[in-house]
Chains A and B, each alone.
Chain A
């Protein structure tokens, strides 16, 4: 088949999928053993888990070159920030609205694809959308405080102020686990199969009765929701939302998370989030080196490991082959 990746690894997992829930459990005590900086990085990883999971749905599972992810991330971040700063809502109540804003914008971003705009045209258009949003953030000063950025007070959860990174960690961890579990449920159903059917052969997908337009919108909307929630987490983590945070460099980071981790793989999104958050941190303080390392990483993966790092694991452990059905 044209443009196909090398065949994925096969096999029914010997162990249940419960082993994946072990990871969050194992990670629970970690905040008590790390310093503030590492705690911050861990929190950032969790934000990018949502970014990766969300983005992967559109470019991995649905297989579309839609680069609106950063725009959705930014919208979620600003939505949360604006509600906290201007409407006085406590942070935890802005999480769902941020997701909804992302979902709505995601659905909007899918519309050109419905008009059969695909491949590079869709990529260019969604990139333009992202840059346009950034310009809007800069110009919508009353709401967003323009280029100076929106300063957001520490997040509040049910009356409790989450001022330390450690307290944020547990909330973020819960959100990340939820994002992965819910997305996994979605993918292991006729919805997930429909997304991938559209990716693999859109004509055949229609021929088996899948209303492709509807599922396009759905995939983009769910992706937008997850990424929007990630944006709200970002606002809570960083406390300062600026337009510069959502530029094309950020887009490449999102790509890297998905491609280095593994396209269309939930485990891959998590792995990608870990690798792509920690690696730039290693080079913080050396402007330009971060980008060079990132570029090398992406090129390396594209040339030698097109299925991402998760494919290394799949070779050893059939566990990592994702199944898209329930039995």
Chain B
């Protein structure tokens, strides 16, 4: 019976059933067959799972992202970053990475960044004679930074499930995100120097920089509101999300005059439906986690792993490999919701800080987003940018290696994650 209940969710997932249905079916079956608890608890846990104020930040940040992805905000950001860093060798590549990180700091969604910044940067990279394979790899992989940088939605979901403070997680994400950005930029510069591509002919112009900065200032206000608001003690993350929504609507509506009220409402509809796709899985997974806990499954799993007496670094390595594998088959939010109830008790027993583990978790899943064969961003780049799959697969390999270096640093040097918490959270 236990074997059947263990195999059932995996089999349904592999057959391609919706994740929410798999979780709901598994929870209901376990409750009926094992726990002998009234079924009304299914309703109570589903309702209770969403009865959380922190989760309101999810629809707010998704709405912000929808608004930011329309109009010319990404082009203005790219122009500004280009004027700032475009002179270094491989300046256009560096601009691509930094623009993506900046876009992530406004939206928290990886695929949106790949699609939006990618649409602007790919033609420019190809026109500047960057190799197609390199450009495809760069654009597909750059979005992974956005799941680490605040206001990351995967981190928000992890915080809710693991009951870890979201401001602490966001503070912890800043240094690793900057480190990953720096690693990617270093690789881009090294590649361009070695292969003699991407030499910049533009002289640095203060007037040009000032002009692009002036055009981008309204767009740059969003990350300032989100981070400044949270760490200045002005807003909670949820309130920061709501204020960012109003700001993100006001900029294209009133300042740039690119969107109308109808488009803003379309963004709201599309954000609400996307949010529902996430929140229904959140609700069902919290319910599933509750049923697992009632049946003491995380405890059994933890005791089994501890009983193997593996050294801590090996155990962490095994967790990393598991997360990388899962991340390349599943979107980060579903993976966080499925695995957090199983892994967190183990991690706490080993004495790892749940905040540090959260960052490690999302960096792994971020790599999974563009990891061959099935990373979600590979298909975003293929569909939205029309890049050939073979070119993307070949182009991605060096970027996977760069991210793995970053992952090793995040995993084995907890200070990288915890420094931001010490600086920003009192």
Co-assembled chains A and B: no
Residue positions of B touching A, CB distance < 8 A: none
